[in-house]
């Protein structure tokens, strides 16, 4: 089984973290997946952590997790921190697949989204 994990920065403001959770629910609905197949994790300041979320996925029988960094630019969180977190978990689950997707800001769809907002 395959799962989508949306990784955001995390905020001290719980409403901001809840926005990501609501987004995950909408994505699951759009993809016609059960809600539990699209999860969220946070790099810092909120729970669950990336490590906890990935471990939970694999413990529940998921074979592959696609990690989507919910960041606009390829700063150190995208280039270093998220891959480091993934690598640490991958070493514990060598028989599982963790696929790191391009960060949101790199998506071609961002051009249309921004142009539409203009």
| 63 contacts 2 by C-beta, under 8 angstroms | yes
Separation of CA 42 from chain center: 8
Length, in residues, of the chain: 118
> Tokens standing for 115?
């142009």
- 9 has catalytic annotation: yes
How far is Cα 7 from Cα 28, in angstroms, rounded to an integer?
15
Per DSSP, the three-state class of 66 is: strand
Instruction: Give me the catalytic one of 2, 4, 9, 34.
Output: 9
Residues belonging to the active site? 9
């Amino acid at each position: 089984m395959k799962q989508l994990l949306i990784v955001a920065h995390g905020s001290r403001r719980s409403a901001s973290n809840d926005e990501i959770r609501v987004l995950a629910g909408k994505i699951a609905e759009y993809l016609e997946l059960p809600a539990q197949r699209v999860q969220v994790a946070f790099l810092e300041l909120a729970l669950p952590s990336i490590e906890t979320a990935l471990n939970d996925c694999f413990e529940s029988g998921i074979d592959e997790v696609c990690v989507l960094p919910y960041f606009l630019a390829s700063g150190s969180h995208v280039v270093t921190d998220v891959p480091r977190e993934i690598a640490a978990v991958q070493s514990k689950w060598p028989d599982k697949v963790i696929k790191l997707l391009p960060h949101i800001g790199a998506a071609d769809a961002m051009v249309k989204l921004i142009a539409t907002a203009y």
